[in-house]
Amino acid sequence: MSATLYRMGVPGLLRAASGAPVFIATTSAVDRMGDVVAAEGVDWSAWRKNPVILAQHNHARPVARGGALERYTEGGVDGWSIEIRFPPPGIRDSDEARQLVDAGVLSAVSIGFIARDSRPPTRGERERGVTGKVHVRSEIIEVSLVSVPAQSEAVRIRSLAPRERLLAAIEAWLA
């Protein structure tokens, strides 16, 4: 299993090595429910033991495995990116999910988590749109390819050929 990379900077640098699609899994930005999942408090250890990628949060529809994780900070927002590794062709649900991702029909992911420590938002957090809870510590239990993510930033990072991705990431990193 891939080790977690703690690199602050450009998300998706991992794509240069594997060619697998990479998605923003979660960020510390306010989600569509008005909640925040603090990236620094996300615990991936249980998920890493069984890094399944589901279709639409349906536990009966595993479609891929999670690969490398990358923690990053970009534009003042902390987050995690995740590599999704599809199995070889021949598995119906996985083939369908891969085709939908490749066609750009599915371009988002969503985390399933257990909130381990939550609190109400501070005044400053309320002023920036936090109307729900701030999940200070959370345990990831699954990641799903979804049509509509709760976290609007949890989308696929643009795909390029492996060499082009590496060069683009290095240029962005140096800029």
| Residue 24 contacts residue 154 (beta carbons within 8 Å) | yes
Report how far apart, in Å, the C-alpha atoms of 126 and of each of 85, 92, 116, 118 are: 38, 45, 21, 15
Please determine, for residue 5, whether its predicted confidence score (pLDDT) is greater than 50. no
CB atoms within 10 A of CB 76: 7
CA torsion, ordered 13, 15, 26, 150, to nearest 10 deg: 140
| Residue 119 contacts residue 133 (beta carbons within 8 Å) | yes
pLDDT tens for each residue of 138-153: 999 999 999 999 999 8
> What is the C-alpha separation between 71 and 8, in angstroms, rounded?
7
> What is the C-alpha separation between 68 and 56, in angstroms, rounded?
21
pLDDT at residue number 82: 92
pLDDT tens for each residue of 31-43: 999 999 999 999 9
Q: Which two tokens stand for residue 12?
A: 């998706």
pLDDT tens for each residue of 38-77: 999 999 999 999 999 999 999 999 999 999 898 888 777 7
Q: Which H helix or E strand runs over 69? A: strand 58-74
pTM of the model: 0.79
